[in-house]
Amino acid sequence: MTSKTTVKTLLILGASGDLTGRLLLPGLAGLLATGRVGGLRLVGAGSDPWTARQWKERVDTSFAAAAGAAESAGRSVLDSVAASTEYHQVDVTADGRLADLLAHLEGPVAIYFALPPEVSQKACALLRRDQLPPGTRLVLEKPFGAGLESARELNKVLAALVPEDHIHRVDHFLGKATVLNILGLRFANRFLEPVWDRDHIEKVEIIFDEDLALEGRARYYDHAGALKDMIQSHLLHIMAFLAIDAPASIDERDLRDAVAAVLRASSIKAPFQDSTRRARYTAGKLGERTIPDYAAEPGVDPARNTETLAQVTVEIDNWRWKGVPFILRSGKAMGHKRKEAVVTFRPVPHLPVGFSGVDSPNHLRIGFGPDVLQLDVDVNGPGDVFTLDRASLITELNAAGMLPYGEVLEGILTGDPLLSVRGDTAEDCWRIMEPVLGAWAQDAVPLEEYDAGSQGPAAWGTSGGRSDSGHT
């Protein structure tokens, strides 16, 4: 059973980092502004000699943006957390330094490792269970390890420190309202479940094409690539939500068991020349912007052959999904921003003679930005009532609310790991991808090219049938 202790101190290691400034503090500010979490002490730490004032300025800037829209209760929480925040200079890779800091903090403490992954791993390895205040929660950012073996090692280190339900492996896609809405759509409506299987669904595509290029992130991205950056955790989790059996409850055990069962049954089958594709962008234009060849971007090592576009076909070997391809794709510098899951249904078994016009399969599209739900159906067209026409039933999803990191932090601070990746699942995500990474490292699958601003290599075609609504 998950304990519901409320965290007293949020310790952010990596206070000066990009994640903290751009995502964590704004997410926290949005959460505090709701007034749902109070009595929190926020502590920042880093290895550089930031002064308390510099940290305070960073906190104040993020909190000020949220305070404007907050009710008075939320504003007073923001004010009191900002007023009491402190900063400590700590090299977490120096033995005993993090433990010394923890000894001075009021527990339970959530330690947020917003650090380079190898630094987080080393810092955890240096900690001992008896150095942690009772109820400590450990918060790890992706990537969880650098492969299956190192994920197992990391999980062992973490398990020696705190129980599994006190470990929060963050995949912020699980905090996105539209991703969570897949559960409501599937399990709070009667009409979908009877057709949600291999008998009625031909394929499922999950596509995250970005119209942004490298944007100066070579130091991180050139070591990751599209497969590890997007597909290995984010898109696999969206796939799992689309594929799970109905859980008895939306609690951490039932939901995470259901996700784990899907991922355990999932694999990418060889030959990988058929089941995977990879490509890298060359110079081109994104709107008015001229984008240089990826290989010529500052900080990129062309010999690393990092892919900026990846596509894999995952198979889920269970009764419900056997034979249905789940196609996961993500690319950078794409001409058309497209973030959606597209479920393509099988054609009707027999179209009555006499109908003419469009006869295409139904598509259900779940857009993740903009957040829309769209069902493509064939209906009577204008004029001859037996001439079919394509219609789209579209609704915008009201995804207004907290930022994904706000949702994730709420779970952490209230002691609920529902939106955190469980250890076995983190390992399974690597188990699914590692054979592909190995084949790509040996050049078993060619690294193709596409112009920045295009739709990817011409030979790939337009998978998924682009939404013609203009919404996706």
Q: For binding to ligand NDP (CB under 6 A), which residues are involved?
A: 13-19, 46-48, 90-93, 114-117, 119, 141-142
Contact 115, 123 (CB under 8 A): yes
| Least distance to ligand NDP, CB of residue 54, Å | 11
Neighbours of 190 (CB within 10 A): 6
223 is annotated as contributing to ligand binding: no
Nearer to ligand NDP, 115 or 148 (CB): 115
Q: Which residue minimizes CB distance to ligand NDP? A: 17
312 is annotated as contributing to ligand binding: no
166 is annotated as contributing to ligand binding: no
Nearer to ligand NDP, 111 or 452 (CB): 111
Nearer to ligand NDP, 114 or 341 (CB): 114
Residue 449 phi/psi, 5° resolution? -125, 150
**Residue 126: both structure tokens together:** 């240096």
Residues 6+ apart with CB under 8 A from 341: 182, 204, 205, 206, 207, 238, 242, 365, 366, 368
Nearer to ligand NDP, 224 or 358 (CB): 224
179 is annotated as contributing to ligand binding: no
| Least distance to ligand NDP, CB of residue 33, Å | 22
The terminus-to-terminus CA distance of the chain in angstroms comes to 40
Neighbours of 395 (CB within 10 A): 10
- Cα(353)–Cα(326) distance, integer angstroms: 33
**Residue entry with tokens 């308390």:** 52
Reported as type and span, the H/E element at residue 224 is helix 218-226
172 is annotated as contributing to ligand binding: yes
229 is annotated as contributing to ligand binding: yes
| Least distance to ligand NDP, CB of residue 42, Å | 15
Residues 6+ apart with CB under 8 A from 220: none
Nearer to ligand NDP, 117 or 335 (CB): 117
| Least distance to ligand NDP, CB of residue 310, Å | 17
142 is annotated as contributing to ligand binding: yes
- Cα(426)–Cα(159) distance, integer angstroms: 14
Residue from 439, 86, 449 nearest 280 by CA: 449
Query: Active-site residue numbers?
Result: 234
Residue 109 phi/psi, 5° resolution? -110, 140
Nearer to ligand NDP, 73 or 103 (CB): 103
- Cα(362)–Cα(59) distance, integer angstroms: 48
Sort residue 170 into left (φ over 0), alpha (ψ -120 to 50) or beta.
beta
337 is annotated as contributing to ligand binding: yes
- Cα(429)–Cα(431) distance, integer angstroms: 6
Reported as type and span, the H/E element at residue 267 is strand 266-267
| Least distance to ligand NDP, CB of residue 362, Å | 35
| Least distance to ligand NDP, CB of residue 139, Å | 10
What residues are designated binding site?
A: 47, 91-92, 142, 172, 176, 210, 229, 332, 337
What residues are designated binding site for substrate?
A: 172, 176, 210, 229, 332, 337
What residues are designated binding site for NADP(+)?
A: 47, 91-92, 142
